[in-house]
């Protein structure tokens, strides 16, 4: 499995790793807006939500690797 990167599109991340949706939602990232999926990169989603990137990506990849 290739690690998730900031430039990966949100819809691709969730399609490839459905468990990522729960992880991201638990951290305050909204994957839907007005009934439409977030059509942006993971980094853009975090920035738009005002969430500090920090270790979020590292934690997400560890979460996904743990299965």
The 3-class secondary structure across 1-64, one letter per residue, is: CCCCCCCCEHHHHHHHCCHHHHHHHHCCCCCEECCEECCCEHHHHHHHCCCCCCCHHHHHHHHH
* Residue-wise pLDDT tens digits, 25-40: 999 898 876 666 678 9
pLDDT, one tens digit per residue, over 10-20 is 999 999 999 99
The whole model's pTM is what? 0.85
Mean pLDDT calculated for residue range 41-49: 92
């Amino acid at each position: 499995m290739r690690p998730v990167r900031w430039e990966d599109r949100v819809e691709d991340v969730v399609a490839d790793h459905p468990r990522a949706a729960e992880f991201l939602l638990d951290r305050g990232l909204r994957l839907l807006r007005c009934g439409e999926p977030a059509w942006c990169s993971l980094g853009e989603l975090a920035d738009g939500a005002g969430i500090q990137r920090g270790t979020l990506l590292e934690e997400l990849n560890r979460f996904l690797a743990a299965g």
